[in-house]
Structure 1
Amino acid sequence: MCATWNFKTLKKTDPIPASSKPLSYSYWLGTFVLQGTVAPRVMLDVVGFGLLATGIVYLSEFAMIRFDVSLAVPGGPFEVAGAVLGLLLVLRLNAGYDRWWEARKLWGGIVNESRNLAIAGLAYGPPDHHWRVQFIKWIASFPHVTRRSLRGERQVPELSRLLTEQQIEALLTNSHLPDAVSRQIASLLAEGRGSGMDALAFYSAEKQRCLLIDYLGGCERILKTPLARSSAIQVRQFIFILLASLPFSLLDDFHGTLPAIFGTEVGRSVWLIPLFIMVIAFMLLSLDRIGMELQNPFDTRRVDFLPLDNICITIEQNLLELLHDDALHDYAAPTAADVELPPDASTHATDDNIGADIS
């Protein structure tokens, strides 16, 4: 039964449970925060388009004064072009987010299968303490080496907490560290099978180990298959064409003069066009940059990279807690004979009928 809180009976000195505290959210702080956004990364390009618009305004003013020629063009086509470009940017953004979310689901699978594999080894593996410790520590090493491999790093300092120096040196001689760690886990499973591990438990644990490699392969597919470069180049060319030609369509809208401030004439309103262009450029370039940032969710140089460090530490802590709890108890590995089966089932399973159709 869930506990209920009666706020009328709570004293001022009583701590308020975390679940009952209101969420603190500030629209203004969330709007103007710069950390974790792409704003600093696109600002230089935004200023560049502002300078380009300034040059176009200066050219139009020069043509009007010197030759009495207007460079203004109708704005109708730009409305259609802006709508099409916005759709392309949204599609690009969705493609990047799909990759980011798929990577997160793959790492969720690594979390789950690491726990499942560890629990299976401790529950059904041999009672040998050394085997159980090595089995858990090699499983805990897999997420760390996977994270470093996806980031193109060879050094894995986290392994010093889990493995011996000799094991680390032998591991680093391999070109693909996650495969080497998975091979060690497979060797330990084979050793456990030879020490009396139940056949069904062995095949189940082996399947979970293979799933870890499958999830790793999915992450490597995302890493090594970026979005089509031609589409990215084409979208940026469209952005440039739109922002470079948009000032010509705004000349008629900003043809007047600005109101005087304290009796001082400010000037013609056409000089507001660069500011207007910079606002539009900021929106378009930000969407384009976010789509690019989401392509590689493993790179720490990206704005929205996955928190793989925290995920790996969580896996390691969970597995070591399982090992600690296992050391406090003297469990005997259960077998098929310990499970209550239907009357027509046979408990004398052998390796020859493990793969039989039981559907």
Structure 2
Amino acid sequence: MMIYNPKDWWKLIFYFHKADTFRKLLPAMLGVMAYTAVFSYLENDVFHFMPIKNPLAVHSLVGFVLSLLLVFRTNSSYDRWWEGRKIWGSFTNNSRNLALKLNAFLPENHESKEVFRVLIGNYLQAVKDHLRDNTNPKHLAFVNKFDESFYENHKHMPNRIGQAIYLEINQLAKNGLLNPEQLLILNTELTSFTDNLGACERIKNTPIPSSYNIFIKKMIFLYVFTMPIGFVLEFKYWAIPIVTLVFYAFAGIEMIAEEIEDPFGTDNNDLALDTIVKNVKGNLAEILRN
């Protein structure tokens, strides 16, 4: 995720980072520019087509409808991005709450505090890797019986770590270190981990319906590549920058929507999951000190 100052207008206007839509769309913009230039030349200097009355009327109406579709598309994608951020905020809060409660319930300097520090941190690490399709046990920390062999031959690593947390909680209850009332208090945070993971998987595995996505792209293509018909008659060679600018605006909005509809990746506009996980691990280390 790119960190920036939203009030620095001039820097943002003239800043073109590697994920900026301008750079990604530049080859297509040059193609649209060349296409419009050829059409302008043929109309203005070669064929001189019969003038069309109100040549911009159709594109004005279609452009309005297309703008509404893009607004809906962007809002839908942003809702997914913001829901993902709220879910990871819940991960952060519940991890801290669970650590605070365990620290209060368990005896001072008890070895299970270190176990939970590692397991809770591992859970968030595993969820992040799982959502990025990059599950790797080597990214985890190991402690006591929950060593590397405990995670072997398990594809869904968050579930395996969740199982380890429940096993440790159950063992503490059997040893009399946690009473039924304390188990009930811990249950909210423990359940929330799986609920949050399921919500993240729902976002990741349920993209915008393909028919809607394809329709918008087709409409943008048809709209832009028929624009010269009316705009060249009205604006002559000035149609070249006008059509290119309209293409950049519409295609750029669609590209932004595509990027933020899956907020768990590593693109500049995705959530800063690496930072979130690192901060939570630091919090856990402070809370569950032996």
TM-score, with structure 2 as normaliser? 0.91
Residue 265 of structure 2 aligns to a residue whose secondary structure is coil
Residue 25 (structure 2) aligns with: 42
Is residue 282 of structure 1 aligned with residue 248 of structure 2? yes
Is residue 178 of structure 1 aligned with residue 144 of structure 2? no
Shift of 1:293: 0.6
Structure-2 change in CA distance of 1:156 and 1:47 (3 Å): farther
Residue 219 (structure 2) aligns with: 238
Stretches (4+) displaced over 4 A: none
User: Partners in 1 of 2:33 and 2:144 — Cα distance?
Assistant: 58
Letter in 1 for 2:70: L
Which of 200, 203, 208 pairs up with 1:227? 208
Residue 153 of structure 1 aligns to a residue whose secondary structure is coil
Shift of 1:37: 2.8
Shift of 1:127: 5.2
Q: How many residues align structurally? A: 283
Residue 59 (structure 1) aligns with: 42
Shift of 1:70: 2.9
Letter in 2 for 1:296: D
Letter in 2 for 1:33: Y
User: Partners in 2 of 1:280 and 1:194 — Cα distance?
Assistant: 68
Q: Where does 1:258-297 land on structure 2 (aligned, <5 Å)?
A: 270-297=236-263
Which of 91, 108, 117 pairs up with 2:98? 117
Shift of 1:175: 1.3
Q: Is there any run of 5+ residues in structure 1 with no aligned partner, and where?
A: 1-22, 255-269, 328-359
User: Partners in 2 of 1:122 and 1:146 — Cα distance?
Assistant: 24
Q: Indicate if the aligned counterparts of 1:148 and 1:156 stay in contact, CA closer than 8 A.
A: no
Shift of 1:163: 3.8
Letter in 1 for 2:23: P
More displaced stretch, 41-50 vs 274-283: 41-50
Is residue 317 of structure 1 aligned with residue 282 of structure 2? yes
Letter in 2 for 1:61: N
Is residue 213 of structure 1 aligned with residue 194 of structure 2? yes
User: Partners in 2 of 1:279 and 1:138 — Cα distance?
Assistant: 52
Q: Indicate if the aligned counterparts of 1:38 and 1:289 stay in contact, CA closer than 8 A.
A: yes
User: Partners in 2 of 1:100 and 1:186 — Cα distance?
Assistant: 30
CA-based RMSD of the aligned residues comes to 2.1
Shift of 1:63: 4.8
Residue 140 of structure 2 aligns to a residue whose secondary structure is helix
User: Partners in 2 of 1:317 and 1:305 — Cα distance?
Assistant: 22
Q: Where does 1:112-191 land on structure 2 (aligned, <5 Å)?
A: 112-126=93-107, 129-160=110-141, 163=143, 167-191=147-171
Structure with greater Cα Rg? 1
Residue 253 of structure 1 aligns to a residue whose secondary structure is helix
Letter in 2 for 1:104: R
Q: Where does 1:339-354 land on structure 2 (aligned, <5 Å)?
A: none
Q: Indicate if the aligned counterparts of 1:96 and 1:291 stay in contact, CA closer than 8 A.
A: yes
Residue 77 (structure 1) aligns with: 58
Q: Indicate if the aligned counterparts of 2:122 and 2:140 stay in contact, CA closer than 8 A.
A: yes
Residue 7 (structure 1) aligns with: none
Q: Indicate if the aligned counterparts of 2:137 and 2:151 stay in contact, CA closer than 8 A.
A: no
Residue 254 of structure 2 aligns to a residue whose secondary structure is helix
User: Partners in 1 of 2:133 and 2:144 — Cα distance?
Assistant: 23
Structure-2 change in CA distance of 1:166 and 1:219 (3 Å): closer
Residue 351 (structure 1) aligns with: none
Q: Indicate if the aligned counterparts of 2:131 and 2:264 stay in contact, CA closer than 8 A.
A: yes
User: Partners in 2 of 1:292 and 1:50 — Cα distance?
Assistant: 24
Q: Indicate if the aligned counterparts of 1:38 and 1:303 stay in contact, CA closer than 8 A.
A: no
